[in-house]
Structure 1
Amino acid sequence: MKFSNTRPAAIANNKSFSAARTESGNLERYKALVHASDIGAWEYFPDTESLWCNDIYFSMLGRDINDYDFASPNNLKEVWIDLLHPEDKDVATNHFAEYLKNPKGTHESYYRMKHSNGSWVWIWSRGRVFQNEKSGFGAIGTHVDITRHKKAEEAIQRERILLRTLIDNLPDTIYVKDIQGRKIIANRADVECIGVSAEEEVLGKTDLDLFGNNDIGIRGYEDDMRIIKTGEAIINKEEYFLDSRGKKRWLLTSKLPVKDGRGKIIRLLGIGHDITMRKQSDEVLKKLNEDLRLQSEELSKQAADLKALNLQLEKQKEQELEKAIAQGKFEIASEFLHDIGNAMVGLGSHLNRINRVVDQNNLNNLKSLTVFLKTNQTAIAGAIGAHKAAALVSVTEGFEATQTNNGLEIHTSITELLNIITHIQEILNIQRQLVRGHKGLHERKPVNLENILYDCKSMLFASIDKKGIRFSINIQPGTYTIKGDHTKLMQVILNILKNSIEAINIDAPEKIITINMHTVDNLLELIITDNGQGFDAQTANLFFVRGFTTKKNGTGLGLYNIRTIIESHAGSFAISSNGPGCGAVSTIRFAL
């Protein structure tokens, strides 16, 4: 590009030419100052279209000043134009040419120049026209590397775009206001909420401008001013507004003050979440709850009437049904227990017979034979050979060991079976006593719990004694008679005591079951404590779930039935433990 070398009128008419000459005499000092400032410097000579540059001008481009010829004219293209970025070249050169034609103020331009490594360096170029002794005028200026600032600006711009994209696509209203309460940012949701089509329609306006001098506008503006004055944020405030169709909508609004580095409030940030559907649902739910409450009261009255009418019928039906069922049940149970008892006796006899047969085995003769063969192995070897004699002894010893092991296993199995039969017979004896003591009726009659405790102790004496358990019953003076079913109450106590017995390890150094019974505040309290295996809280939560059991062969009905029976007697039942290995405490309470 050809730059004009016509002296501008502003300089041609300058009468301070001698002053300019005096300043040019200080050129060396000027260059030293520029070099010390680490700034690239250039001087343009329009008469030769040449450009003088200092070494920093080139070093910021990764280049060496000695690689360029400043003695020859017309070097502008080499040292400047050819190094410009293709996208910036026309703008930069045209801007410089226009400035030379009309040199008012300071020339300022931003462009990229090529680094020796192929990258581009952002340059901030500034300069002014000055009086030149030879050509009449010239231009002098500086280059500053602003690459880092440009990259930072680009990063900020990218973040701005990402942030704007984010807030414009969020369903919540987001806006920023200045300290006068005027909006300077409003996302798409906020624009739609106000009922306009573009952000420009709300910028620079307060809530009074947007909503008018009504409750909505005044409330919003006063909230803004209070936050800016006090610095106290508003968090999750429910407030209504009217949409473009005049319909009432609800927002959950939060407004926060934005402060600068010195703690001064400079902005206000607002976020609103549309909760209209939730509020409508709350209203519907509130009405529904009221309707349900009225219906519930009516149903409660009807239920009370039905309960009163059916109470007598239920009692009559229960008594008649229990009488009919119980009579047949206990007759069948008696025959069934008798048959099972006979079968257990027969099975025990057969096991004892097997045991005797095993004892009569000729194992001792086999041992004697083995000793004889080992003692006379040398003589036998002389008759049948050493290898055969050794084999005979080895086979005999192996057979003896096998027979011995088999005998021990048979004795162990028979012993275990006999123990099982004994346990079954103990259970059958307990059940026989219950059947014998039952008259076939489940009528609620006065029952003495003290007698039931001692009866249960007697029934379980064999199991208690076999395990070596220290069993004690402590009853404070008083009356312990309640109205109930004697058989069912005995079943409850027996089941709890059997659980305690089974929970105590036979190898435990100390085995204890204690029963305490007393009355307090018109309540009869029965507490059964053992030092057995105990249980954790998670297991305790499942005890009364029908079918849950911790026993290998359990049914999961024991504790469930216990609580059912006790509650049918207007009582309560609880079982607790301090953890595995800490035993258990069963507590029964009846109203007196």
Structure 2
Amino acid sequence: MSDPSTKACNENDRLELALRASNEGIWDWMTNEKEIYYSRRILEFLECTASGAPNLFLAPFLPVHHLNRAEFAGAVAQALEQNGPETLAVDARVQTGGNEWRWLRIRGTVVRDRKGHAVRIAGSMIDISMRKAAEAQIEEERHLLRNLIDHVPLQIYFKDLSSRLVMINRGMAEWHGVSSGDQLIGKHDSDLFSNEHWEKAAADEKRIIDTGIPMTGQLECETWREGNETFVVTSKFPWRDKSGNIKGTFGVSSDVTSLVLAQRQATELANELQHKNASYEEELKLAHEIQQALSTSSYPPAVSENGNRIEFASRYLPISGLAGDFFEIIPLKNNRFGIFICDVMGHGIRAALVVSMLRGLLVTQNEHSNDSSQFLNKLNLGLTSILKRANVTMFATAFYGIIDLEERTMNYSCAGHPGPVISGNNCSKQLCTERSQKGPALGILKTASYSEHHQDLKRVDRLLLFTDGVLEAENNDGEQFMEKRLLQIAGEKLHDTTDQWLDDIIETVLNFSGDHHFDDDVCLLGVEIKSPA
């Protein structure tokens, strides 16, 4: 016969092996004693020896994490109550001997005496740290997903097979004017909208459930029971469980009410705007014709008594119907001629109005036309006064030169404008390159002053006055044409006529430009000075 003690030992070994396989350990506590029995597996959980292992079930329960301590103490107190429950069940984080926290699932059976007092509690513990970590991660991901769903500026909802709401996000609740989404759970569209809207919506959802084919990007007019209308762009999809079976539908809607109403208003205004636009175009055409009529199309005869003469040529390339660039040739007494070029900030009607103001001011400056400094001073004073009264911020750059044809000299002043290029003997240079030679643009400072400078023209064959549309032309690399290239081409082909010379300059700049056009208005004035043969 087998030895009973050997049999009991074998049974304990089997129990220990079974518990180890399930990652469980056993514990046994006589409630009237401080000591507690832990199996080897529990000691491994606690990372301590049998002699150093704490009795987790004795107050103040310090090894238990403070966030779990109240629940743990309550479960133990309940188990120790007279005629209390027959089981102890609690999950808690416990500090190990290695100062780490380990989640333990603790289960125990309470043994009571005849009066119902707990005399012994025995049970098992299992390490559930990995499961708790996984649950925490899942909970965090669920929280993040819910956070995203609630904060996207869209209405998101799930409906069952009967098209009743089972879940909505915060945006959907706010759309329906309720404080909590729970107030809409179980509702059908028929509870919220008119028959016309909910019947169509229900038919769409039934079709999605029957076919599994989603509906995307559909504009819907929501007619509410109260009679008001809203507009949403809606996409609906089949809602499937993890096995692929359709449980209902879910949808995403975006409020486009303001856009639809704006479109309606725009449509209502379209005819009115069309008529106004026709009138506006007619006025622009008239303004363009007036501006063109005022522009210099013929040049005054310029011959001095000693036979010196001037030939003028110009090119004007506005990028719109109304432009802000212009030039004027002003005949003066004693074989002198004023040459003026101007570039007003911007384009269109504002620039054209300022051009008209400046042309009007030019007419009043005859008494100052023989002094380039005074000429620009008075122009600036007049323009700043007008702009100040109109409370408008605008400015214009300008250059004014006075050519004495008899002496072949030029006095000039500059208001922030690119200086003209003078060419002769196959070389060129630019005037007004020093800061001291340039005053501020017209229309900015009422007290601005402009200095006068002198240039001998005896060795100069041609002058080129221009606006900055030529300099700002860009190639495909974003590089601008700038003064260096203009100086080079202005010094070439001086044997050509002045008209051909200007055409060559424009063609060279356009070939340099990446898209073969100018981005700003271009105005060129060529001045050729000839002596008797």
Choose 184-193 or 270-279, whichever is displaced more. Answer: 184-193
2:233 to 243, 249, 252: 252
TM-score under structure 1 length normalisation: 0.46
1:109-159 per-position Cα deviation (integer Å, ceiling 9, x unaligned): 222222224443222123446899xx9996543212222333443444445
The alignment partner of 1:60 has SS state of helix
Size of the aligned set, in residue pairs, is 344
SS at structure 2 position matched to 1:250? strand
Residues 302 and 309, structure 2, Cα contact 8 Å, conserved in 1: no
CA 1:196–1:24 in structure 2 vs 1: closer, same or farther (change >3 Å)? farther
- Which of 332, 338, 343 aligns to 2:307? It is 338
More helix by share: 1
In the alignment, the residues of structure 2 paired with residue 538 and residue 253 of structure 1 have an alpha-carbon distance, to the nearest angstrom, of: 45
C-alpha spacing 1:160/1:38, structure 2 compared with 1 (3 Å): closer
Q: Which has the higher strand share?
A: 2
1:67 partner SS:
coil
The 1:189–1:340 alpha-carbon spacing in structure 2 relative to 1, beyond 3 Å, is same
- Quick one: percent identity of the two aligned structures? 22
CA distance, structure 1, for counterparts of residue 305 and residue 208 of structure 2? 87
Provide the C-alpha distance between the structure 2 equivalents of 1:101 and 1:462, rounded to a whole number of angstroms.
117
Question: SS state of the match for residue 43, structure 1?
Answer: strand
Secondary structure of the corresponding residue to residue 540 of structure 1 = coil
Deviations 1:348-396 (A, max 9, x none): xxxxxxxxxxxxxxxxxxxxxxxxxxxxxxxxxxxxxxxxxxxxxxxxx
CA distance in 1, matches of 2:59, 2:261: 73
The question of 1:545 aligning with 2:521 is answered: yes
Displacement of 1:492 in angstroms is 5.6
The counterpart of 1:274, out of the listed 243, 255, 269, is: 255
Q: Which has the higher Rg, Structure 1 or Structure 2?
A: 1
Structure 2 SS opposite 1:282: helix
Aligned position for 1:56: 41
Counterparts of residues 156-305 of structure 1 (less than 5 Å): 156-211=138-193, 214-243=195-224, 245-257=226-238, 259=240, 263-265=244-246, 268-294=249-275
* Partner-residue secondary structure (3-state), 2:266: helix
Answer yes or no: is 1:96 the counterpart of 2:79: yes
* Alignment deviations for residues 492-517 of structure 1 (CA, whole Å, 9 cap, x no partner): 66643x549x96xxxxxxxxxxxxxx
Distance in 2 (alpha carbons) for counterparts of 1:153 and 1:557: 84
| 1:57-136 alignment runs, 5 A limit | 57-68=42-53, 77=57, 83-85=63-65, 86-97=69-80, 101-103=84-86, 107-128=88-109
Q: CA deviation at 1:192?
A: 3.2
Q: Give 2:183's aligned amino acid.
A: E
Counterpart Cα distance in 1 of 2:226 and 2:251:
23
Deviation at 1:47, TM superposition (A): 7.7
- Displacement of 1:197: 4.1
The amino acid across from 2:219 in the alignment is E
Secondary structure of residue in 1 paired with 2:511:
coil
Whole-angstrom CA distance in 2 between matches of 1:174 and 1:337: 91
* Aligned equivalents of 1:201, 1:494: Cα separation in 2: 82
Q: 1:77 to 1:418 in 2, by over 3 A?
A: closer
Query: Which shows bigger deviation, 151-160 or 249-258?
Result: 151-160
Equivalent in 7, 21, 41 of residue 36 of structure 1: 21
Contact 1:238–1:253 (Cα < 8 Å) also in 2: yes
Please name the residue that 2:132 is paired with.
150
Query: Could you tell me which amino acid in structure 2 is paired with residue 123 of structure 1?
Result: L
Q: Distance in 2 between matches of 1:534 and 1:246?
A: 62
Change over 3 Å in CA distance of 1:35–1:151 after alignment to 2: closer
Residues 411-457 of structure 1: CA distance to partner in whole angstroms, max 9, x if unpaired? xxxxx975569x999978xxxxxxxxxxxxxxxxxxxxxxxxxxxxx
Supply the distance in 2 between the matched residues of 1:223 and 1:43 (Cα, whole angstroms).
64
Q: Deviations over 1:332-355 (max 9, x none)?
A: 2344993259xxxxxxxxxxxxxx
* TM-score scaled by length of structure 2: 0.50
Q: Which has the higher contact order (CA 8 A, sep 6+)?
A: 2
The aligned amino acid for 1:338 is G
CA contact (8 A) 2:424 2:461 kept: no
Secondary structure class of the residue paired with 1:273: strand
How much has 1:167 moved relative to structure 2?
Answer: 4.3
